[in-house]
Amino acid sequence: MNIPNSIREFHRAVRSIPGGVNSPVRAFKSVNADPIFISHAKGSQITDIDGNTYTDFVSSWGPLILGHAYQPVIKAIEEAASKGTSFGAPTVIESDLAELIKKMVPSIDTVRMVSSGTEATMSALRLARGFTGREMVVKFEGCYHGHSDSFLIKAGSGVITLGLPDSPGVTIGTAKDTLLARYNDLESVEKLFSKNGENIAAIIVEPVAGNMGVVLPGPGFLKGLRELSHKYGAVLIFDEVITGFRLARGGAQEYFDITPDLTTLGKIIGGGLPIGAYGGKKEIMEMLAPKGSVYQAGTLSGNPLSMAAGFTMLNELNENPEIYDELERKAAILERGIKDNLEKTGVKAVVNRAGSMMTLFFNEIEGVISSFEDAMQSDTEKYAGYFKLSLQNGIYLAPSQFECTFISRAHSEENISKAITANLEALQQLK
Ligand SMILES: *Cc1c(COP(=O)(O)O)cnc(C)c1O
């Protein structure tokens, strides 16, 4: 694999962009490499500026559940763009997308569009605080909810990948209102509530964690959170920025049959364009300005290009629910293949999977990874080696142990079986 152009462009980028990237996880820092610059992509294949083509399992970190440059989405964007890119005034497609989201996620009575997942979670928290008149929030170690101050505490993903402590710049005043609990440990949540119950506005959780690598909720965990939030009058926020429209048409809340009060969305709902959204119970959502007093706004919110892309994408998912069976089937083949390879090679690792989200943890733990502490036991050096060998074999994975492999509809069975072969070769060389 030759990447002279990427190397040159990275040297150019670092002179004008901090670290050479506009989002830290894109740097290949934790796998001791320089990032590859992308030229174009189609379906499951992504091509760099040196002309190397890879099968992509990053899928833009989740949004591209139907693959790259999906034609109906591209066409919708082109049509929308030709009519103007932004008006700062209401458009019909905003209601079209809102209605579709409500239909697919029945816990959402009304939904507000924003421009990123970060904005969605940040605004949902402000709303929960306004609604309850309380200030504290319970979040889980290793869960990532975007980069707003309240959530940048044990925030998983990019933060742990880069070995950063909780971010400087977050004030002590803000940090003290964020209470940390352990994922899959209801007792740790109960303790926080028994001490601070009257001051806790919300519990926010990734119903399947995707930002410490994939970690599934254990039996009763989400239900327990639902019960605790009811008992203490706190708002339950499911951060479904990854899981929404990925695990099922109705997201993780449909998959596990637990209804949150508020849901945050992003990634898939923009069809690959910048977007976020949050919605839920009418009585809470009505507190938002202009109807209510909780303020939140956005010059480009409900942008017609994002709306057109998102609507086309969700419509496809809504009308073809068999997509989820197809994703499950393909992901299960990949999981089986990798597990067989682990057995064959004797490499110690754990595969965690929920639907089309999966992580191969280089970790000696038996069974599954069920907590942040377990995930942190992983051998990141080994992952770095695995990542590089995979790349040489034409497989583009997340440049971090603590991320998801995303399977899209565009992955053919041939792509999957090639990925299994590449995995075997990489594991054999890693031994
Ligand atoms: C990606 C992500 C976010 C943040 O979304 P951005 O669009 O990157 O701001 C929030 N929550 C979860 C669970 C995410 O995976």
Which protein residue has the closest C-alpha to ligand 1 atom 8? 117
**143 φ/ψ angles, rounded to the nearest 5 degrees:** -85, 140
Measured in Å, residue 219 CA sits from the centre of ligand 1 at 25
CB-CB contact of 389 with 406 (8 Å): no
Q: Are 59 and 309 in contact (CB under 8 A)?
A: no
Catalytic residue (choose from 239, 278, 281, 386): 239
Q: Is 144 a catalytic residue?
A: yes
374 among known catalytic residues: no
Closest atom, ligand 1, to C-alpha of 266: 7
Report the alpha-carbon distance of residue 416 to residue 263 in Å, rounded. Answer: 32
What residue type is assigned to position 162 of the chain?
Answer: L
Residues for the chain: how many in total?
A: 431
Q: What pTM does this model have? A: 0.97
Q: Taking the CA of residue 38 as centre, how many other CA atoms within 13 Å lie in the half-sphere pointing to its CB?
A: 16
**Of the residues 241, 242, 243, 402, which should be mutated to test ligand 1's pocket, given the most ligand atoms within 8 Å of the CB?**
241
Q: Ligand 1: which atom is nearest the Cα of residue 61? A: 1
For ligand 1, the distance from its centroid to the CA atom of residue 153, given in whole angstroms, is: 15
Give Cα separations from 257 to 253, 280, 400 (angstroms): 5, 15, 31
Name the residue of 23, 60, 122, 144 whose CB sits within 8 Å of the most ligand 1 atoms, as the mutation to test its pocket: 144
Ligand 1 centroid–CA 247 distance in Å is: 16
Separation between Cα atoms, residue 420 and residue 272, nearest integer Å: 27
Domains and CATH numbers, the chain: 5-69+321-430 (3.90.1150.10), 71-319 (3.40.640.10)
What integer pLDDT is reported at residue 163 of this predicted model? 53
Residue 267 designated active-site: yes
141 in ligand 1 pocket by Cβ < 6 Å? no
Eight-state DSSP code of residue 292: S
Q: What is the Cα 207 distance to its own chain's centre?
A: 11
302-322 per-residue burial string, b: 16 or more CB within 10 A, e: under 16: bbbbbbbbbbbbbbbbeeeee
What is the pLDDT tens value at each position of the chain, 431 positions in all?
Answer: 799 999 999 999 999 999 999 999 999 988 989 999 999 999 999 999 999 999 999 999 999 999 999 999 999 999 999 999 999 999 999 999 999 999 999 999 999 999 999 999 999 999 999 999 999 999 999 999 999 999 988 776 666 555 555 788 888 888 889 999 999 999 999 999 999 999 999 999 999 999 999 999 999 999 999 999 999 999 999 999 999 999 999 999 999 999 999 999 999 999 999 999 999 999 999 999 999 999 999 999 999 999 999 999 999 999 999 999 999 999 999 999 999 999 999 999 999 999 999 999 999 999 999 999 999 999 999 999 999 999 999 999 999 999 999 999 999 999 999 999 999 999 999 97
Q: Give pLDDT, residue 159.
A: 62
- Secondary structure (DSSP) of 332-363: HHHHHHHHHHHHHHT---EEEEETTEEEEE--
Q: Which of 34, 54, 139, 144 is catalytic?
A: 144
pLDDT at residue 164, rounded to an integer? 54
Distance, CA 147 to ligand 1 centroid (Å)? 8
Ligand 1 centre distance from Cα of residue 251 (Å): 15
DSSP H stretches of helix in 105-236:
117-132, 157-161, 172-175, 186-196, 221-232
Task: Please tell me if the CB atom of residue 116 comes closer than 6 angstroms to any atom of ligand 1.
Answer: yes
